[in-house]
Chain A
Amino acid sequence: MAVLTSEIIKLAERKDTLKAIATTNHDGVPHITYKDSLHIKDGYIVFYDLIQSSQTNKNLVDAIWYEKSVAVSLLGVNEESYQIIGKPVKCVTAGAEFEKLYRELREDGEADLNAIWYIRPEKSRDNSYFTRVEYERKNHPLIRRLDMIQKQ
Chain B
Amino acid sequence: MVSVRNPHWREEELSLKEVQKKYTDVPKSWILKADMQRRGITFSQAASALADPEIHLLNSEGANRFRQNTDQVPNGLIMRDGSYLVIGNFDYASSQAERTPYLIDVVDGKLVVTDQDEVLDEIAGYWEKPDFFNKKASNGEPLSKYIACRPQRLEITLNNYCHFWDKPGEGCKYCPMSPNFKKSGKTQECNELKYIDEAFAEALKQEGRNEIVILTGGSILSGEHPFDDEVELYIKVLKLLGEYFEGRRFPSQLISTAFDERQQERLYEETKLMQFTPDIEVLNKEKFEWICPGKAAHVGYEEWKRRLYHAVDVFGRGNVTTGVVLGVEQAVPKGFSSEEEAFQAVTEEAEDIISHGIGIAANIWRATPGSVFQHHNTPSLEYYVRTLREFDRLQQKYQVDPFTDNYRRCGAHIGLDLMRTYQEDAAWQY
Q: Which residues of A contact B (CB under 8 A)?
A: 25-27, 29, 53, 55, 58-59, 61-62, 64-66, 89-96, 98-99, 102-103, 106, 113, 115
Interface string of B387-430 (1 = CB under 8 A from A): 00000000000000000000010000000000011111100101
Interface string of B79-121 (1 = CB under 8 A from A): 0111110000000000000000000000000000000000000
A25 near B128 (CB under 8 angstroms)? no
B430 near A27 (CB under 8 angstroms)? yes
B207 near A103 (CB under 8 angstroms)? yes
Q: Which residues of B contact A (CB under 8 A)?
A: 27-30, 55, 78, 80-84, 124-125, 127-128, 151-152, 206-209, 408, 420-425, 428, 430
A90→B125 CA distance, assembly (Å): 11
Chain A residues with CB below 8 A from B423, complex form? 25, 55, 58
Candidate in B27, B209, B420 with the most chain A CB atoms within 10 angstroms: B420
A138→B146 CA distance, assembly (Å): 71
A106 near B207 (CB under 8 angstroms)? yes
A91 touching B81 in the complex, CB below 8 Å, given contacts A66-B27, A99-B206: yes
A118 to chain B, nearest CB (A): 9
Using A64-B81, A94-B78 as known contacts, list a sample of 20 further A-B pairs with CB atoms less than 8 Å apart, ordered by residue number in A.
A25-B430, A27-B430, A58-B421, A59-B421, A61-B81, A64-B80, A65-B81, A90-B124, A91-B80, A91-B81, A91-B82, A93-B152, A93-B408, A94-B151, A95-B128, A96-B128, A102-B208, A103-B207, A103-B208, A106-B208
Chain A residues with CB below 8 A from B422, complex form? 58
A90 touching B430 in the complex, CB below 8 Å, given contacts A62-B421, A65-B27, A95-B128: no
A113 near B208 (CB under 8 angstroms)? yes
Candidate in B83, B84, B421 with the most chain A CB atoms within 10 angstroms: B421
A93→B421 CA distance, assembly (Å): 16
Candidate in A25, A89, A99 with the most chain B CB atoms within 10 angstroms: A99
A92 near B208 (CB under 8 angstroms)? no
8 nearest A-B pairs in the assembled complex, by CB-CB distance: A102-B208, A91-B82, A65-B27, A94-B151, A93-B82, A99-B208, A61-B420, A29-B430
Pick from A59, A62, A89, A99: contact of B209, CB below 8 A.
A99
A53 touching B424 in the complex, CB below 8 Å, given contacts A27-B430, A90-B124: yes
A132→B277 CA distance, assembly (Å): 58
A52→B333 CA distance, assembly (Å): 45
A89→B122 CA distance, assembly (Å): 10
Candidate in A27, A61, A98 with the most chain B CB atoms within 10 angstroms: A61
A96→B139 CA distance, assembly (Å): 29
Residue of A nearest to B403 (CB): A52
Chain B residues with CB below 8 A from A113, complex form? 208
Candidate in B80, B81, B152, B424 with the most chain A CB atoms within 10 angstroms: B81
A112 to chain B, nearest CB (A): 9
B125 near A95 (CB under 8 angstroms)? yes
A92 near B421 (CB under 8 angstroms)? no
B425 near A55 (CB under 8 angstroms)? yes
Pick from B80, B81, B128, B424: contact of A94, CB below 8 A.
B128
A66→B20 CA distance, assembly (Å): 12
A55 near B428 (CB under 8 angstroms)? yes
A44 to chain B, nearest CB (A): 13
Residue of B nearest to A58 (CB): B421
A65 near B30 (CB under 8 angstroms)? yes
A5→B81 CA distance, assembly (Å): 27
Pick from B80, B206, B421: contact of A90, CB below 8 A.
B80
Chain B residues with CB below 8 A from A26, complex form? 421
A91 to chain B, nearest CB (A): 3
A62→B422 CA distance, assembly (Å): 10
B152 near A89 (CB under 8 angstroms)? no
Chain B residues with CB below 8 A from A98, complex form? 208
Residue of A nearest to B79 (CB): A91
A55→B430 CA distance, assembly (Å): 12
Residue of B nearest to A92 (CB): B82
A67 to chain B, nearest CB (A): 9
B19 to chain A, nearest CB (A): 16
A89 to chain B, nearest CB (A): 7
Candidate in A53, A94, A99 with the most chain B CB atoms within 10 angstroms: A94
A106→B128 CA distance, assembly (Å): 21
A90→B111 CA distance, assembly (Å): 13
B421 near A102 (CB under 8 angstroms)? no
Query: What are 20 sample pairs from A and B whose C-beta atoms fall under 8 A apart?
Result: A53-B425, A55-B425, A55-B428, A58-B420, A58-B422, A61-B420, A61-B421, A64-B29, A65-B81, A93-B78, A93-B83, A94-B127, A94-B152, A94-B408, A95-B128, A99-B207, A99-B208, A99-B209, A103-B208, A106-B207
